[in-house]
Structure 1
Amino acid sequence: MFEKKRLRHGAYFILPKSLNSILIHFLRPSPQMVSSISTLVLLLATISSVTAATANDNYTTLLSLNCNGTRAVNTQSFDVNFVDAMEIISQEIASSGFGMAESGENATDKAYGLGQCLNYLSNVDCRLCYSQSRVQLPLCLPSTSARVYLNGCFLRYGNYNFSEEAVDDLDSVACGSSGNVTEVGFRDGANGLIQNLTNGAYEDRDYYKEGNATISSDVKIYGVAQCWRSLNKSGCRDCLEKAREKIVGCFPASEGAALNAGCVVRYSMNPFYVASSASSGSSSATRRRALVATLSIIAAVLVIGAAILWGRRRPPTNGDSENPDGSSEILRLISESHLSFKYDDLRKATKDFDLGNKIGQGGYGSVYKGTLPDGREIAVKRLFINTTQWLDQFFNEVNLISQVQHKNLVKLLGCSVEGPESLLVYEYLCNTSLDRFLFEPLDLTLQSDSFRKKALDWGKRSDILVGTAEGLAYLHEASEVRIIHRDIKASNILLDERLKPKIADFGLARYFAEGQSHLSTGLAGTLGYMAPEYVVHGQLTEKADVYSYGILVLEVLTGKKSNSSVSSSTESQSLISQVWGHFNTKTLIQVLDLDLQDQCSEKEAINVFQVGLLCTQASPNLRPPMWKVVEMLTSKSKDLPLPTQPPFVNVKGVELRSSGSESSMKGSSSSKFPVSMNRMSLSIMQGR
């Protein structure tokens, strides 16, 4: 979604990727206008870069990525255990800067992990560095072991317990350009610095030592030595000694790093670390980064504002030469079709998009209730247009949902493409979304809230699960095009006046060509509902929807939201962990929503729980297709197969944290996963 432009002083300015294409798609300006706007961007960026000259955060720069050549025996199980271990490490990194984990019950597919940040990183920078290393490491799968070194952190996984290894055959050294330092005494000064650091680090409580040496009035050299906390003192000393022997081979290069299994030793003529005692300096750097971000946002706002003002004044043009992708022709066809609504009519219907009429929000837009002059009630989705994906998102939703018709899919009435923003018009469902009934805090003194609490009895919840399954089965098997929704969750299940479900929000949906087994696509969806194989490899099949549906089943039965169940559990367990534990101890009835007690037999409840667990199995091949799910939910006589263990059952402690992105992975590594609140939901998208 964004790209970095390198400016003077090594600073970066973040601006929308493919700016020219955005302008051409949206406003169709002349090349001169594009050039002027781009100049404005770079001018404002340069102003930002002057302030940020000393805030060049390069701790996420990749130093080395090493993968071994052995392939995992059971790749699917190993992938799941890898993800599980990485999530546990993520929690520990966030709290202490170091984490170890193991996941899996069988020796053949067990995954071990270890991660640590170097001591000079702040907590925020540490989590950002871990997030970047977490993106790099899966590139080695299905190798049985791999390690990645960034400038500020280290992350490793393997199929055996390597936590006490100080050195091994994959140890390496990375040197800068050789022979680029001419100062007399550099070699002696650098060697003395490395000697002091490696002799002192293993004596330190944190196995860490930093320092610098003055070579001349104009030349200074900086260095760091650090061992991982999993080693003992003797192991740390051995690791540092081996690292020292290797790194001296880099002299007289201006920088070098010895990358061992249990430690890192590094030197550079650039001050790559922030002295641990200079807390004020760290605070100042944080303020500088905040200022850069603020100026960047101001620059982007000015650019977009100038473009929009110019676009509104400029008369429309004809011809495809300025619109090579044919989008203007698609817009024209839509505007002339029965799907077209006038922008002013929709604006009036929603009372100028009054906040009092806002009934929801998704990853790509806000939804408002409206009333047309003929009395019809509608739901108007107001798409966000300040993203590079807005055009694709708009056409995707129009094209897909207009091709499918089913009683359990929200009906698209039309759209508006001629006004200052893009709008989608749907049938209005008076009871809004399922999450409003399941998860929103209730005020029992209000009649409406009291109704909501009692409305979802066992029969209604069963109908919602069956109807949602039927809608998905239609998308996967029976529609003209084979569609994967990618964002099945309670906030995207809307309820009509009889509380019958309809699947909504097709903005992230994708369709398969005939004969295609899977899609390799960017990561998109909502954290906590995405299947593990999709998270790891980005390979999308219908089984990703099946997994999300399984999570929905467990939420409907327990009345608990998956993403917030860790904090509400007395044992700090995720929802899927709680349900799996009770399944193994044959006490599933204990996690059934209290409002459903005595409304169904124990066998009925356990059967539906079992369907949810079958849908959330770690292996996608074991998950049933949605037509089979419908059959299992509606057939009372057949015995169900036993589910295998789902992923993430070992994640405990705090809520899962994002891996650095809803970048559109929008989300922060320091914030909890986005959850549905007040009928609003957040979806994520990340390029791979």
Structure 2
Amino acid sequence: MLLLPPSITLLIPLFTTFISLNGVVSDPQTYLLNPGCFQYTRLDPADANSFNQSLNEAFQDLSNQNKHFATAQQATGALPVFALFQCRSYLSAADCANCFSAAVAQIRNCSAGTNAARVIYDGCFLRYESSNFFEQATGSFNSASCGNQTAEGSTALFNSIIQQVLMNLQTETTRITGFSAATKTQVPNNNNTTVYAYAQCTETISESGCEDCLKQSYNTIQTCLPNSDGRAFDAGCFMRYSTTSFFADNQTINVRPFSKQGSSNKKGGIIGGVVGAVALVLVLFSLFSWWRHVRRSKRSKRVPRGEIMGESNLRAPLNYNYKELKSATKNFSEKNKLGEGGFGTVYKGTLKNGKTVAVKKLAMRQSNRMDEEFESEVRLISNVHHRNLVRLLGCCSKGNKRILVYEYMKNTSLDRFLFGSNKGSLRWKQRYDIILGVARGLTYLHEEFHICIIHRDIKTNNILLDDDFQPKIADFGLARLLPGDQTHLSTRFAGTLGYTAPEYAIHGQLSEKADTYSYGVIVLEIISGQKSSELKVDAHADGEFLLQQAWKLYEKGMHLGLVDSTLDPNEYDSEEVKKIIEIGLLCTQASPAIRPTMSEVVVLLQSKEGLSKNMRLTRPLYIDTDSISSGFKGDTSTYSASNSNATISTSMISARS
């Protein structure tokens, strides 16, 4: 492992003198609460070395920023590094620097090849990953750390005071600049006990994310009562209480002015019912509400989502030389051809340094405007990093040629394992991981990146598999790169019939719910091992497309009739498979409003419970390739989709439905 230089420090002081906590001059509060090391992606020695180099640079960047809160992003190898450091707001600059040094030393205990780690101390929090987690509010490491001494005096009174103090912090911290607050509260008639409490959220999460995280922490920290101190921590927040001071008195804040009930507690509002006093209270309350609204509006503008990874902070993509790519692909030879689609042709390439890449030649018109848009979009998309997205390494522009260079996936695309020469080789666990991984990748594109990216062409061909059969969504940037008139077919939409949502194919109504529909189709393909656009015919029924077949089996309660016959029934839980089939049908509902968001899909997949009874499924709609390409033959009457405001021609729906 490469070692950080010993000179890494945070130098800008927040205070002109050291603060004293019960006579102690300095305390970086390096009591270790939660360490963690993870290896989400297996790295070869070269990639591990470059990742470690990026990690060193990220830590140096955090140090150079000289702040109590800082983020850094580096990418010199196969995987990028996202790093975040946060001190408790009450720590001095010197203590913050010491806490940072301790955290870096601790996190270095993780073994080589680790591409995600965290260290949580009382005084600070350090985390890095190979994917962007800056907006994550809650996660798998929600936990509590409790003291081993019971508070003195009345347990019932102590618990009541603590709960009220923490509830105030939970509800009001999000309204305070910086998302942090420290309070000091005297417990009456309880041996002069004083309660010190503190709450803090990561500055890159949203106000609603902070609220959710603190709510979870409030519930978690209850397990510490009636102990004299306790902490709760999660991905995006930290909460602590103690009967021993852990911050200076001058760091406290009175949260009552931020409280909703603050105005109702004022004595002047209830004295004697005097009309003038009541009027005054109402005026003051109105002014206060207006002032609070203005503060919240300013705060929402203070850290806009776009600034977290704004245009000025985007890392420029690597520009490849055309001759190098031509040589790497052996002059774009047929032998090196990996696949071909409406957006271009993909070739396997081996660079001079021995690295294998996927080289995609795009079919695009040339214009000055296109050149500018192409460079801007590539710059944006090359900064999109997630474990379930194929990484764009760089690009090449030469004349009218536009080439994208991606990381190479040895196992190629999912369709080959479902319908091609490797059909039947995927086990249930692998299929489930693919279903979940694709949902996570789409969640990132739709909801977690600083702008919403709609893929528009989710299908099994565009789901690639790494060495461990983990899925990576490909071509997610082409929806942005291509001009408006560049499409797969001679239609007004970019996509593949059989996967495309009806409202988009027919009316051009595009939203992230179009990707949700496509996702639902591939879920059913993964489970069944059947192509959505191929007819299934037997002696007792007319031909049915996959979506129609799935719906009929669902109506009969015979979900498992859809399952790929190559799967061993002993490998999967039948109830889990039924639930996932229903999730696929839920994603393909006629009305986009009924379809879940992709983050909701992730929650549903990971839940041990089935779908809620409130999620009533209706008959999904399917766009038949034959009917759209045959000039809209057949019945031209209209069919109003259930629970949908859109009116859709039945000629666009399979005549066999």
The verdict on a shared fold, with TM-score over 0.5 as the criterion, is no
**Greater RCO (Cα-Cα under 8 Å, separation 6 or more):** 1
**TM-score where L is the length of structure 2:** 0.44
